[in-house]
Chains A and B, each alone.
Chain A
């Protein structure tokens, strides 16, 4: 015969007992088998083995198994890494495995753990008390633990890498050199200097894995694995990426990765900055002008190549003009070139490079113009005065001769856009007529008036010129704002 509450009494007994088991298990797991406790007990026996002298004995006796942390309010860090890396500043711990070993090198002499913590250089999850969570790879933590090689990327936050012994920041310095060598500045902006085609890179090292396209990367999805793969094959990692393949080796990609990770806009208190960092920041605000060739290599080369031949760029589906060829030199004045560089070509991919935009100094603009014009120049001079004819007839001529490359209404196609405001402002009548008459040697632009061959007459040239000038967009406030103060307006406007 069943007691009416028999079921409930058994249920109560059962669930109470099992609950008790869970509570005990949780308590034991928490209080005796946390990773840091196991590690510290092992460390304790290590201390005992190494207690050969008075001081060692004392260290062993005073050792307590307890949670340890370094709190660095200035860096907003609470790092519990030392709960397992207990011997991080004990010089005797050289022949022991991780996590007991002393920190390699002499870095801790200048960066004592109690003043700097760990994550300021190594990243990773400081609050964690076990290695998996501290490493935080593919975990819910924004900045996982950097690998040993990548840790030098953190030096840039407080140092000018050039003032650090080179062997410590080998990859960082190499990365910076590669950045200049590969002309990354043509498209990317750093510290206010560079092009606009790609993203600004000042804070690229702060990006989390969620801000990068990880679809084509095998796990683990760390930002550095992404960067390294991306430098090897940008479009392979980001479908439709317009970034030019920088053609680097695996090692070079690693160096560039370190350099990218280094760019983090962190709130580091001034007291943590090395004096040379402050000087470096000062220099960034007051840059020394570079020479013309250097400017060209860092900020032009990626698109214009060596500049002697115009190219059709498949990615952008655009024609990229030759800027150092004799053909252009023959007609272009320094003013024309400087205006084009300083203002860019609105509507095309050529950005503006003056101080407030691309960040080049006036001296640098002049220097790069001088660099572009260096070389043999056979200056071609058109007639002293170029008349303008009948634009309607010019339009018909344009349709017959020019529209194929320069596009309807001069909006550009395979050849540059003639309706472009910068072009219209900077190019003189002389420039235009001369170019049509003699062609542009290093490009596909043919000569339309060659001696002994049928071509356009002078009158027809005048008509064409009149038509081309009609293409100029009405001068707007925006176009005016684009021209930097002091830049001479393109001549030849009536």
Chain B
């Protein structure tokens, strides 16, 4: 018996009930998916995008340049995808993890040994965190070298910077939670960096009544040592405060992308050929016989009239295929790493047995290398100056041009290459010099600490990088190229320092060619 398609008026209520019950799957599907089927026309594809809560932040059509894998390398998405993975695995870990110094380590062992696939889930959490930190760094570099911070995207660059800081904070707070030796001593080092203003106040002799370093450290740890209070603080920051902040900032970040007109790209040229069998065609073909009025307010210098082929494709399905692919690629990377490499878990935290060398998480090792010269300048002044410098870039470099093109400003590739070489040689040279000849304290043991605070390999490196950038500014007569010079130098310097401190620093922060040469204590 074929079910009647429409209930007849005057039919009895029981019949209507049965009728509706029978049609439940399709009515539910319609209610849920709104469209109720795979979109077939561009109109339906548009609806699929903007009728969906999760998709509606995308525009309906996406520029073909945005889709090209070489523009973004998918880095922002990789960071987002790893954050999603981190949230999922993080919640699973929270089920078993107990944030107390008495129980934390035991609960880690339980997760490792007895929780079904607990070891695997923890590995994914660990590796995704590393993937996220790396992706965020590279994403920043991508945005810089494609000049995508330029007007109107200045503010989104700032949000991106805040996201970098929050990402590092998330990873750092998570570092303590296993409560093993690695965690304990890495956080001890980290909190000592927070304590570093003491170097200045001690040198000047005012720590007694003005002690911002001690205050920062106590604020972070809730005590003068890494203990129960620090653990619960880090836990709350790690599982609640920072993720919420990150989600809010990421939402704004995405929203601004949309409002700023999608990813940065150069102006389209007129009259490009329609590609891909007519899927990509000009959306707007002005007719000479008609006049056009402005139908909506959009940002930009002029209304998008007479602009010709916009080189756009439907977001559904092209953009969503791309996003899904990058997401799954991130999942694959994390899974593969997690399958083959276990996340480290050392002995239970023991304040009586210091790790030597005690190293901070890898992304802070460059800073730790600077801290080994001077805690205050290396741990606070230089990072703050660097962040401030990064924040100022879009406000100092305001000449349009090169947006959305790798090394798009004329001469940029050359400057970037030379700066990379300059930054590399200088950083390596400075490290080699310091390792071989020591620094002021080794030559003049009685020297006042203030001198070392001001003149150390870290500050010299920063000053020389700045000088190089100023020289480029004068010689090339371009703010953008000066920014490229400085950014490249800093990026290379950061990479060199991080690599150096990771591989070549051993017990007592002494130089070794390889960790295998570290003396057994």
Interface residues of A (CB under 8 A from B): 1-5, 7-9, 11-12, 15-16, 18-19, 22-23, 25-27, 30-31, 67, 69, 78, 80, 125, 127-129, 133, 140-142, 208, 210-211, 213-215, 217, 221
Contact = CB atoms under 8 A, between A and B. Distances in A.
B332 interface: yes
Contacts of B109: 125, 127-128
A19 B335 contact: yes
Contacts, number: 106
Contacts of B106: 78, 127
Nearest to A12: B325
B70 to A, nearest CB: 11
B126 to A, nearest CB: 15
Contacts of A25: 339
24 contacts: A1-B277, A4-B64, A4-B67, A4-B280, A5-B321, A11-B325, A11-B329, A15-B325, A15-B329, A16-B328, A19-B328, A19-B335, A26-B120, A30-B119, A78-B106, A127-B112, A129-B113, A140-B344, A142-B350, A210-B521, A211-B353, A215-B519, A215-B520, A215-B521
Closest CB pairs A-B (n = 7): A12-B325, A127-B109, A8-B325, A11-B325, A5-B321, A15-B328, A15-B332
Interface string B347-358: 110100100000
B346 A140 contact: yes
Contacts of B336: 18, 22
Contact of B520 (A3, A30, A221): A221
A1 B280 CA distance: 13
Contacts of B180: 140
B279 interface: yes
Contacts of A142: 347-348, 350
B286 interface: no
B64 A23 contact: no
A458 to B, nearest CB: 56
Nearest to A215: B520
Nearest to B109: A127
Nearest to B324: A12
A64 to B, nearest CB: 16
A13 B388 CA distance: 43
A80 B113 contact: yes
Contacts of A31: 116
Nearest to A129: B113
Nearest to B329: A15
Given A12-B324, A214-B521, A5 B114 contact: no
A34 B388 CA distance: 52
A141 B64 contact: no
Output the residue of A26, A78, A142, A215 with the most chain B CB within 10 A: A26
A27 B120 CA distance: 9
B116 A129 contact: no
A127 B114 CA distance: 8
B391 interface: no
A69 B348 CA distance: 21
B331 A19 contact: yes
Nearest to B346: A140
B405 interface: no
Contacts of B15: none
Nearest to B335: A22
Given A8-B321, A210-B521, A211-B353, 4 more contacts: A4-B313, A23-B335, A27-B117, A127-B106
B339 A12 contact: no
B317 interface: yes
Interface string B322-338: 10111011011001101
A4 B69 contact: no
B521 to A, nearest CB: 6
B507 to A, nearest CB: 11
Nearest to A25: B339
B114 A129 contact: yes
A127 B110 contact: yes
B29 interface: no
Interface in B35-87: 64, 67, 69
Contacts of B112: 127
Contacts of B119: 30
Interface in B267-317: 275-277, 279-280, 313, 317
Given A19-B331, A22-B339, A80-B114, A12 B519 contact: no
Contact of A128 (B113, B328, B339, B521): B113
B116 A30 contact: yes
B345 interface: yes
Given A4-B318, A140-B180, A210 B120 contact: no
Contacts of A217: 520
Nearest to B118: A30
B322 A5 contact: yes
A1 B120 CA distance: 42
B67 to A, nearest CB: 7
A142 B110 CA distance: 17
Interface in B230-266: none
Contact of A67 (B67, B114, B279, B324): B114
A141 B347 contact: yes
Contacts of B120: 26, 30
Nearest to A22: B335
Nearest to B113: A129
